[in-house]
Structures are given as C-alpha cells and as structure tokens.
Structure 1
C-alpha cells in the first residue's frame, strides 16, 4: 500500500523501528527506486535526458493530464503539484509499490511530479470518459474546473473561452457589406443625402432638407468590443491604418459610441459598468476642401481646436465651447421589421431621425493623425437610456443609419453639412469579443 497513513510513524510490517534505522532504510529504498526508474527510463526513451522537469511526454499513462479537447489543458496542471517534501505517494495503479509506482512518479526525484493523483483530480478512467464521452461529462468537468479557478486565478486571458483581443487592426471585427446587398453583422457606406438637416431658410420656415451628397469623412471600417467598464480614447488600443495627414485636419476620424448593457434606473448614481463600444472609423474625403463650403471648414477647425464662442442669452451672453454644436443623426431604416407594439411604434415614429446634441455626454481626443469622439450613452437621461435598452435586444434586426453634423446656429452657417455617416446592418453584439487593455 505504499506509505502507511493509519499506523504510527515507526510502524514497518507490524513492528516499531528506531528512527535512525528507519531513516537509513528510507534512504536505501529511495536510492533503489531512483536506480530502477532511471534504468526503466533509459530503456524506454534512451534519447531523452533524465533531467526533464515534466511528465507531459511519459507515455499514455499520463497523457490524460494533457487533454486537448476538454478544459483541463496542460497549462493548468501547476495547480495540482504538491510542495510538501513528506507527502510522496509510492502507489501504482494496482495499489502496490515498486517499479510500477516509480513509473507514476516519472522516474524523477520526489515532489517533481504529481503526488496523490487520485486526490488531486479525477481518475485516469474518469478523465478518458471526459475526453471521449458525452458533452454532459465535459460540462461537469468544466464547471468543477471553473469553480477551482475562481479560487486561485484571476487572469481572464487564460480562462475566457474567447480571449480578449490585443491591439487588433482597426475595423476587422465587423465586415464590410457592398452597396446594394443586405447582409447581417456588417457595415456599409451610405449617401449623406438620406439625412435631413437644417436648410438654407431654416430660421424663416423651420423646414429641413435632405443634406447635400457630400461629407467630410467617409467610412473605412467598424468594430464592436465588449468591456466591463467604459473604454475611453479607444484609438490607443487598436492599430489605425497608415494614412498621411492632410494639413491641419486629421486624416482619420474615430467615433466611439459607448453603449451600456446593464439596466437603467431612475436614481442611478453609477454611470459606468458593463457595456460595449461600437467604434466606427472614417477617412478624410479627398475632395474635402473642394466640395464643402469655407464656413463648414472653419467650424470643423474650431471644433478640432476646442475653441469657444459667445452665445446670446438672458440676462447675459455666455461663453461656450464650440464642440457643443456637435449633433448626432440617427435613423432606423427598417422600422417595419422590428415587430414593435403600438406604443413602441408611436415612440419610434416620434423620435426616429430626430437629431440630438451630444453635449455634455461626449469627449474629444486628438492624436497625431486622428480625432476621436466618444459618445457616452451611459450618461444619457433615464428616458433615453430606457429607449436604448429596449433597442439593444433588437439591434440584430435593425438597419441603423448613423451620422454626425455641426449644428448651424446662424443664417450664415446654413445649410448644414454631414461630417460623417455610416450604415450598420443587423449588428448582433453577442458575436463579438472584448478588448484587452
């Protein structure tokens, strides 16, 4: 039976032995075991050095510890190594000591392999059943391991079924869809003229017109990332395309829409938590300086440089940042496909295509060749949050048109022009990964 756990320490074959003799006998037995295991090792694998500190390649007996199809991967085996010098089992699979037991110890010195295998994990036969058996066995083994890992390790990079992305290339998670085709989980370019903006005579007739068919930036990609907390300035964690800067205007525009995935409450003190970032990337139009009027170009330069302006008010004028003119344009193109109730349909018709000023729930980050705009829906009002919350489950059915413009507050600022625009086709956010930061 190997080591005796139920008898006194000096008990050998029913009689007590003095400690000095007991230690000498123990040393002789350990020397014999080392010699026999080294001989066996040299016969079985003559080309392999005896100092190999692992049991991974010791034949089919230990192969079950390195199961490639279950959650019990080789990188987790360190958890089951013992660090105590006085707890080395000499039992083999047949329950007896000898050379068979030495094979289970890999022919190495004590405590360099897995002692007490039966206590450390499932038996060899059980692990073979897990490896080759039904999904229920694998699921049980996975749940037991996940419980064990929660106590020991906290590295999501190892234990997550889909590891976080590390410095991904921008725009690779959401594919591009050609114009004229309808495909789920993709983005496509869209004409700026689908949006209605303030026309030339808006301050007289309050009418809106379709925007001119030109924009400052055109889409080149999109990403969706999960996160436990909001990710600000997300351009730091992705690899942006190499585009030469064009004068004082950034060559790339990054729009990061931070969408919460937790429930909204009326008296919510927290405005951060689990959510996703819908990131859209745009490239400066080659005809930016030709197609867009000088007034729009001047306004965009003020927005980039974070300049301020004087706004008339009562009882006195106010000095406000020019960035507060940034306006979000959004429209659901396929409302009839969402299967809305009567109340939901009424709200959708009332607020669909309704522009919204992004202030104060926005942040700007200016890089060497890019400008990033973060739109923080976590900080929106309760009513707006509830609307987005009800729409989250239907995003995989929505064809959503998104755009940005700079609001015209004076007659000379009109008509408004589109800063950027893109179409997101039926985005199912459950298909995407988190971003390693």
Structure 2
C-alpha cells in the first residue's frame, strides 16, 4: 500500500494510495533440493515457521532489501540531485525490517503479507513521496529475507525478489475503471 498524498508529520495511515501486488510461490522441487542443500533447508525451515506460526516473534523477522539499479543513469539524466544520489547509494541493499507496518492474512496454502507504507515513519513517507513524479524512470529490485536470529539460521537466504520498472502513478487504472471497461466488453 503506497500513499499518493503529501505526508503529514502528525497523521499516518489514511488516504488514497496504490496497491502493488506481487505473487510468489516456491519453485517446484524446492523441498527435494532442501534435503541435499543445507542453505535451502535452513531457508525452507524458516519460511515454514514464519508461515505457520501466527506470532510476532516469527512474523517480525520479515525484511525488505531494496536496490535501485539505475542510480548513475538517473543522476546523469538530472533526475537525482547529488544529495539524493548519496542517500540512495548509502542505503542501497540495506535490509529493513517491515515491522510493525505489516499485516498478515493466512489461508490454506497461502500467506498474504501487506506492507502498509501509509504507516511508515514520516521521513520514509516524505522521501518516497518526493520520488513520485520520477518513479517511472527508476528501476529497482526488492528482495525478501527472513532474519536469522540463531547461528544455525545464518547466513540468511533471499526468499524471493522482484524488479520494478516503469511504475507510473499518473497513469493508474482504478478498480472502477476496470469494472466499467469489463462491462463494456
């Protein structure tokens, strides 16, 4: 959930926004490979505990690892100031725990994770909002990792990731628009 309104220092959590939906599943054969590869077994065990135990102790381990791919290109094209470039380079590939701005919904054979940027800290929302007009030019990867808290859970293993490019919040299609178009067809 990504807000589109200007952030306020004293208000969080409400207002119009966009949903970016990602769907991930385990590759076929993951369980079999985990039997012979310790790293996969460790990651699969962590994922199973994370998915099956509805406790903050387990669920507060989720981390997002952002990486902007085209920092130099955006800077040379004048889309990023020197300060913005330095900030993006400094935080590139730095894992961020998603807590407490996440919610979980579980069902048979699925776990939905909702990361609510509306509830992020003011500076994070302000930073994201400042990129809104330029975000369609940015290319970035988002990885998901479960934090390893014990020696036997390390090193951490990337669970999945996605590359996002061409996000244009000015050419969005609303649910009402989709329904209207479907009714016309």
Q: Compute the TM-score of the two structures, normalised by the length of structure 2.
A: 0.83
For residues 11-410 of structure 1, the aligned pairs below 5 Å read: 258-268=1-11, 270-292=12-34, 293-308=40-55, 320-338=56-74, 339-410=79-150
Instruction: Give the structure 1 partner of residue 183 of structure 2.
Output: none
Give the RMSD, CA atoms, in angstroms. Answer: 1.8
- Inter-partner Cα distance in structure 2 for 1:327 and 1:284: 18
User: How far does residue 377 in structure 1 lie from its aligned partner after superposition?
Assistant: 0.5
Q: Report the number of matched residues.
A: 168
- Inter-partner Cα distance in structure 2 for 1:360 and 1:388: 18
Q: Secondary structure at the match of 1:401?
A: strand
Compare relative contact order (CA 8 Å, sep 6+) and give the higher one, 1 or 2.
2
User: How far does residue 295 in structure 1 lie from its aligned partner after superposition?
Assistant: 2.5
Check conservation: 1:337, 1:397, Cα contact below 8 A. Answer: no
- Inter-partner Cα distance in structure 2 for 1:366 and 1:307: 9
User: How far does residue 296 in structure 1 lie from its aligned partner after superposition?
Assistant: 2.0
User: How far does residue 294 in structure 1 lie from its aligned partner after superposition?
Assistant: 2.6
Check conservation: 2:145, 2:159, Cα contact below 8 A. Answer: yes
Check conservation: 2:43, 2:159, Cα contact below 8 A. Answer: no
What 5-or-longer segments of structure 1 have no aligned partner?
1-257, 309-319
1:312-357 residue CA offsets vs partner (Å, 9 max, x unmatched): xxxxxxxx52010000111110012323112111211111221100
Q: Secondary structure at the match of 1:393?
A: helix
Q: Secondary structure at the match of 2:49?
A: helix
Higher gyration radius (CA):
1
User: How far does residue 402 in structure 1 lie from its aligned partner after superposition?
Assistant: 1.1
Q: Secondary structure at the match of 1:349?
A: helix
- Inter-partner Cα distance in structure 2 for 1:363 and 1:415: 26
- Inter-partner Cα distance in structure 1 for 2:169 and 2:108: 30
Q: Pick one of 152, 167, 170 that aligns with 1:412.
A: 152
Distance change in 2, residues 1:305/1:369 (3 Å): closer
User: How far does residue 366 in structure 1 lie from its aligned partner after superposition?
Assistant: 1.3
What 5-or-longer segments of structure 2 have no aligned partner?
35-39, 180-185
User: How far does residue 307 in structure 1 lie from its aligned partner after superposition?
Assistant: 4.6
Q: Compute the TM-score of the two structures, normalised by the length of structure 1.
A: 0.37
